[in-house]
């Protein structure tokens, strides 16, 4: 697992077409903005499709953000 620290407004790029931006930090919660092509599925962990929740969360494709 790669762990990065980011400040408000800073970005993380995944590949050439996915960008994650820290848009808000408030009382221990952060809000992330995710820019990705429409064909890239993005799920929160608790909403992963059933066939993927049976295994570990690490089995999810790298382009899926939870």
pLDDT at 60: 47
Is 64 among the domain residues?
A: no
What is the overall mean pLDDT for the chain?
A: 84
pLDDT band at 48 (very low <50, low <70, confident <90, very high): confident
Strand 18-26 to 11-14 pairing: antiparallel
Read off the pLDDT of residues 26-38 as tens digits, 9 standing for 90 and up. 999 999 999 999 9
Identify whether 2 is part of a domain. Answer: no
Count of domains observed in the chain: 1
What is the average pLDDT across 6-23? 97
Residue 49 has pLDDT above 80, yes or no: no
Q: What residues pair up with 30 in beta bridges, in sequence order?
A: 25
Q: Grade residue 21 by pLDDT with cuts at 50, 70 and 90.
A: very high
Range of the domain at 34: 11-59
Residues 6+ apart with CB under 8 A from 5: none
């Amino acid at each position: 697992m790669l762990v990065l620290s980011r400040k408000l407004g800073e970005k993380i790029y995944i590949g050439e077409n996915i960008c994650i931006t820290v848009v808000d930090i408030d009382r221990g919660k952060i809000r992330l903005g995710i820019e990705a092509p429409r064909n890239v599925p993005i799920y929160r962990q608790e909403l992963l499709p059933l066939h993927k929740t049976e295994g570990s969360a690490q089995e999810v494709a790298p382009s899926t953000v939870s």
